[in-house]
Amino acid sequence: MSIHSRHIVIGGAAGQGLVTVGQLLCKSMIRAGYEVLVTQDYMSRVRGGHNTYNIRVGVEPLTGPTDACDILVALNQETVELHRNSLSSKGLLVLDEELDALGLPALKVPFATLAPKAIFQNVAALGVLCSALGIAKEIPSKLVHDSFGKKGDAVVQQNMQVLDDAYAWGLANGLECEKLPQPKNLTPRMFLNGNEAIALGALAAGVKFCSFYPMTPATSVAQNLITHGRKMGVIVEQVEDEIAALNMGLGASYAGAPTLVPTSGGGFALMTEAVSLAGVMEQPVVIVLAQRPGPATGLPTRTEQADLNLVLYAGHGEFPRAIFAPGTIEECFLLTHKAFDITEKYQTPAFVLTDQELADRHMGVVPFDLSRLPAVAQPDLGDGAAEQYRRYALTRDGLSPRRIPGYGSSIVLADCHEHTEDGHITEDMGMRVAMNDKRFIKAEGMVDEVVPPKRFGAAHPKRLLVCWGSTEGAAREAADMLNAKGESVGVLSFSQVWPLNPGQFMADLEAAEEVICVEGNKTAQFARLLRQETGFAMHGTVLRYDGRPFTPDYILGKLAG
């Protein structure tokens, strides 16, 4: 059971407009002052594609998805059949009057009457749902104006008429639906998902180049950069394959463009040789990997956290890297921004590791305060003593000033071999060792800048749940639910998983009586990494690898079992 929220599940076939209805409804609820959290579920293998858009709404901040369903909006009969058993005891089914409610308490909507053409059904559904939930009509009205304004007055007028009729119908038909409590949060908020927040974070950091090959669930990162690229001066190039994507990205980085390359596990596997190139060439690049379950094609539209080892070890040879794993939409923005700083400062690849659940998770998010963002490291834009410039000059901190070819008369030679200070091939043993050591001196600085893990729940917990990335929300809520029953449970959530800085968290691990790792894979990859690096063996694990996101109920069930 969940706390302090209600759950609306919109289900239908792909192409029926469930995402449009869902987005309009969510934006209305956010504008009304509610907290909203959306999880998208693409059941693409069930009879021609059955999808759901799962909305959680409440007045208190929400952290993650749940399994509940209080209002089921069925756009087709299949949705009724598939979800009839998940509807809660006080739940309500909303469906077209032509569909069969199978005996469930239902609101049968005459969509054919309310929407003169099929194209208006989304707005008709919005009107009915807003009235059912007790959202003042002015809010969806303004949203319809805002959303359809560009299409001209006639389109706006037609949609407004449909909205009015649908809302009035909803009121007149005395719905037996529990109204939402009074909202609290009247701050204007964006309706934003993880991939959109990553794109905004990259733009804020100054991204200028993105090369990509489409792959679910990462594609919309590039898509968002395409949408805003012209205004922000970003080139986004869809390329022939993922190998080209990262190699091209490194060329762009060499030529002075802060660069982002988004992909998922299979695409990233193709990039691994170029990851190694970025390491030896000391070329900055931010790689976003939105995980989905493997091996190989796995469950293409589902979620998992099983590519930690892949990202940790990708690329032959040894070189430093940073891996961020945002736990929230805000962190998708902030840590992508930080990844650009770290990759430029340390001239080695930085990763943003998310997953389908977080990529597609939508929430209400206050617009980011750009004036409070720290400055992002820049290359060396000087051209002093150009004739003596050496791209890989050996320095005390391992950082060689990175000049950009063509900006001045300095010659910049970037190389994939082991090389001399000026970038030429060498097989000299001493130089090899010096260069390898130089690259790892940089790693020491990176440890000092690690984002510390976050602590939630009980202050001095007896039981500590350790998690990373998107699992944070469900783990926090599970801890809250246990603490409400009088237990002592804390959460230690890592949003940077490499490098680790044990000084930041060892005391937490040692103080708890029981430490449980909660992560979305079969082999407890993070628990093993932590043990490898610190010697600390966790006392148990809660793992999920069925392709579904963690929910509090799932965690509680595993802890109890």
Residues that bind other proteins (CB under 8 A): 31, 188-192, 196, 200, 203-206, 208-209, 211, 228-235, 237, 239-241, 243-245, 247-252, 254-258, 273-274, 277, 281, 367-368, 370-371, 379, 386, 404-417, 423-425
The DSSP element (H or E) to which 31 belongs, if any, is helix 18-32
- Using DSSP's 3-state secondary structure scheme, residue 50 falls into strand
Instruction: State which residue, 55 or 465, has the beta carbon closest to other proteins.
Output: 55
- Residue 253 beta carbon to other proteins: minimum distance, rounded to whole angstroms: 8
Sheet of 489-494, strands arranged across: 454-457, 489-494, 463-468, 514-519, 540-543
Q: How far apart are CA 285 and CA 260, in angstroms?
A: 6
- Residue 559 beta carbon to other proteins: minimum distance, rounded to whole angstroms: 37
SS (H, E, C) 99-130: CCCCCCCEEEECHHHHCCCHHHHHHHHHHHHH
Instruction: State which residue, 9 or 248, has the beta carbon closest to other proteins.
Output: 248
- Residue 267 beta carbon to other proteins: minimum distance, rounded to whole angstroms: 14
Distances in whole angstroms, Cα of residue 312 to Cα of each of 277, 318, 436, 519: 15, 11, 18, 16
Instruction: State which residue, 83 or 338, has the beta carbon closest to other proteins.
Output: 338
Residue 408 buriedness (CB in 10 A; 0-12 / 13-18 / 19+): middle
Instruction: State which residue, 4 or 230, has the beta carbon closest to other proteins.
Output: 230
Instruction: State which residue, 7 or 189, has the beta carbon closest to other proteins.
Output: 189
- Residue 419 beta carbon to other proteins: minimum distance, rounded to whole angstroms: 9
- β-bridge partners, 42: 51
- Residue 363 beta carbon to other proteins: minimum distance, rounded to whole angstroms: 11
Give the chain's end-to-end CA distance (angstroms, integer).
16
Instruction: State which residue, 256 or 552, has the beta carbon closest to other proteins.
Output: 256
Instruction: State which residue, 122 or 259, has the beta carbon closest to other proteins.
Output: 259
Residue 321 buriedness (CB in 10 A; 0-12 / 13-18 / 19+): buried
DSSP secondary structure letters along 515-551: EEEEESSSS-HHHHHHHHHH-PPPSEEEE--SSSPP-
